[in-house]
């Protein structure tokens, strides 16, 4: 029996590796985790460069080297477990230590590798053995923004206020005493991701707010220009309006290019954020809001602002395209009218030239016939006198034949030149 071999799809290994690209790391019953979120410069090769620098750091410190396609790499040292994660445009550095570790920027993490990046988020998560948040920890949070919710059907509790401390770290407390080691580790990872994607999702909001005045100016200029189009009756005025529309279109395109990726990334991060919030399966308490409710009330309006800005840009681009199209059609119609007028003038000129040519040909026939009759009068003077014939009568008889001969000759010449004129 002949066995059939089916070749692997070229993406099969990559798809399988994606399932294990960021494995969950088991965390102990009590620990303190910190995470930094660093956005890399938006230039080609930035993430590859930081990965190469990180690999060089690992080699210098005699640490395990990351594989070329690694998206998460962990190593230990000095009482800490460190995890680097590489994303599309940002890098997270997370380290785990004892609860009494107060060093927010310890050495040996490789943070110097991220010198050309920008810090967008920092958080601290304390995992404690209790099943509920102790009362002694609650006063450390800001009451107006306190989030304190049950997790996993009351087996754990989480608390935060999303307010950075003096070192610019956002503090979280997780009482995970009722969770298994695996569920505790999964919840810890989801909480870290919630804060990570919360900051990344809103990265486009300041950009949208700073760009709103420029967008409003373009919209106002377009409205005024559209109102003036009815008064543009001359070709010069129409061309000036078209140039102005092209200038607005360039400004709009530059704005869309600047904001398009940021808004698209914000939508993606917002979707991931909602999934991660749902993943902790929280429920409310009488001591604060839930993370989902608090984040929804703060993050969703920001994402809605970005979405509204994106929609306004799309509408503006459509208006500009439609206005430019209408003006191009108008210019095309005007050109057709002008071309028709020019062709009509050319036709009239050609007809006039034709009539003038026929007139000249007729006059030329008469003139040539006159001169030929004059020559004949001299040529026939002697013979007619010898034959005793009347000279005037002879010329009168010859005149019609001379005129007919000249006319036939002119016609033959015109027909001979007709093919050449057509070419």
Q: Is the dihedral of CA 207, 209, 213, 219 positive or negative?
A: positive
Distance between CA atoms of residues 249 and 383, nearest Å = 93
- What pLDDT does residue 128 have? 96
- What pLDDT does residue 385 have? 65
pTM (predicted TM-score): 0.77
CA-based nearest residue to 197, from 281, 267, 257, 256: 267
CA-based nearest residue to 217, from 243, 258, 252: 252
- What pLDDT does residue 422 have? 46
Distance between CA atoms of residues 172 and 170, nearest Å = 7
Burial of 211 (0-12, 13-18, 19+ CB in 10 A): middle
CA-based nearest residue to 181, from 140, 127, 137, 110: 127
Chain mean position to CA 29:
47
**DSSP states of 5-22:** P-PPPTTHHHHHHHHTSS
Report yes or no: 405 and 373 within 8 Å, Cβ to Cβ.
no
Q: What is the CA radius of gyration of the chain?
A: 45
Residue 37 structure tokens: 């979120």
The pairing of beta strand 90-97 with beta strand 80-86: antiparallel
For the chain, domain boundaries: 21-196, 204-341, 347-417
Which helix (H) or strand (E) segment holds residue 191: the answer is helix 181-201
CA-based nearest residue to 58, from 39, 82, 88: 82
- From its phi and psi, is residue 12 left (phi > 0), alpha (psi between -120 and 50) or beta? alpha
pLDDT tens-place values along the chain, 423 residues long: 667 788 888 888 778 877 777 888 999 999 999 999 999 998 989 999 999 999 999 999 999 999 888 899 999 977 899 999 999 999 999 999 999 999 988 989 999 999 999 999 999 999 999 999 999 999 989 998 999 999 998 899 999 999 999 899 999 999 999 999 999 999 999 999 999 999 999 999 999 999 999 999 999 998 888 887 767 777 777 788 888 888 988 999 889 988 999 999 999 999 999 999 999 999 989 888 999 999 999 899 999 999 999 999 999 989 888 888 877 777 776 777 777 778 888 878 777 777 777 676 666 777 777 777 777 776 776 776 666 666 677 767 777 877 777 777 777 777 776 654 444
Q: Which backbone phi and psi does 179 adopt, to 5 degrees?
A: -100, 150
Which helix (H) or strand (E) segment holds residue 42: the answer is none
Distance between CA atoms of residues 76 and 96, nearest Å = 9
Report yes or no: 165 and 188 within 8 Å, Cβ to Cβ.
no
- The three-point CA angle 138-144-147 to 5° equals 55
Burial of 403 (0-12, 13-18, 19+ CB in 10 A): middle
CA distances from 138 to 47, 146, 167, 293 (A): 40, 9, 19, 19
CB contact set of 178 (below 8 Å; sequence gap of 6+): 131, 152, 154, 155, 156
Half-sphere exposure (Cβ direction) of 287: Cα atoms closer than 13 Å: 17
- Alpha-carbon dihedral 119, 202, 214, 251, rounded to 10 degrees: 80
Distance between CA atoms of residues 402 and 70, nearest Å = 107
Which helix (H) or strand (E) segment holds residue 264: the answer is helix 235-279
- What pLDDT does residue 207 have? 92
């Amino acid at each position: 029996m002949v066995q059939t071999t089916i070749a692997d799809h070229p993406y099969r290994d990559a798809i399988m590796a994606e399932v294990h690209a960021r494995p969950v790391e088991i965390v102990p019953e009590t620990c303190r985790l910190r995470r930094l979120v660093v956005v890399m410069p938006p230039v080609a090769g930035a993430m590859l460069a930081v990965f190469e620098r990180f690999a060089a750091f690992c080699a210098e410190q005699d640490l395990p080297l990351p594989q070329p396609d690694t998206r998460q790499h962990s190593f230990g040292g000095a009482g800490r477990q460190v995890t680097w994660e590489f994303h599309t445009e940002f890098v997270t550095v997370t380290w785990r230590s004892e609860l009494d570790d107060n060093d927010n920027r310890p050495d040996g993490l490789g943070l110097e590798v991220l010198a050309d990046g920008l810090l967008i988020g920092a958080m601290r998560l304390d995992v404690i053995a209790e099943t509920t948040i102790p009362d002694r920890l609650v006063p450390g949070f800001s009451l107006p923004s306190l989030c304190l919710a049950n997790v996993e059907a009351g087996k754990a509790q989480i608390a935060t206020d999303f307010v950075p401390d003096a070192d610019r770290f956002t503090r979280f407390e997780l009482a995970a005493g009722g969770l298994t080691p695996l569920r505790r580790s999964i919840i810890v990872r989801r909480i870290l991701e919630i804060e990570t994607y919360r900051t990344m999702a809103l990265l486009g909001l300041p950009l949208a707010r700073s760009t709103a005045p420029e967008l409003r100016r373009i919209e106002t200029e377009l409205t005024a220009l559209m109102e003036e189009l009815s008064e543009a009756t001359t070709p010069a005025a129409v061309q000036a309006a078209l140039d102005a529309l092209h200038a607005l279109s360039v400004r709009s395109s530059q704005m869309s290019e600047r904001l398009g990726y940021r808004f698209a990334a914000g939508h993606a991060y917002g979707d991931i954020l909602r999934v991660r919030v749902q993943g902790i399966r929280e429920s409310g308490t009488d001591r604060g809001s839930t993370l989902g409710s608090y984040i929804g009330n703060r993050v969703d309006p920001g994402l809605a602002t970005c979405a509204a800005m994106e929609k306004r840009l799309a509408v503006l681009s459509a208006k500009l395209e439609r206005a430019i199209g209408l003006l191009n059609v108008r210019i095309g119609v005007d050109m057709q009218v002008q071309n028709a007028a020019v062709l009509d003038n050319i036709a009239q000129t050609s007809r006039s030239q034709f009539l003038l040519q026929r007139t000249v040909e007729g006059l030329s026939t008469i003139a040539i016939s006159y001169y030929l009759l004059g020559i004949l009068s001299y040529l026939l003077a002697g013979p007619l006198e010898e034959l005793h014939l009347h000279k005037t009568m002879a010329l009168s008889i010859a005149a019609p034949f001379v005129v007919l001969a000249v006319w036939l000759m002119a016609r033959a010449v015109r027909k001979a030149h007709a093919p050449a004129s057509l070419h």
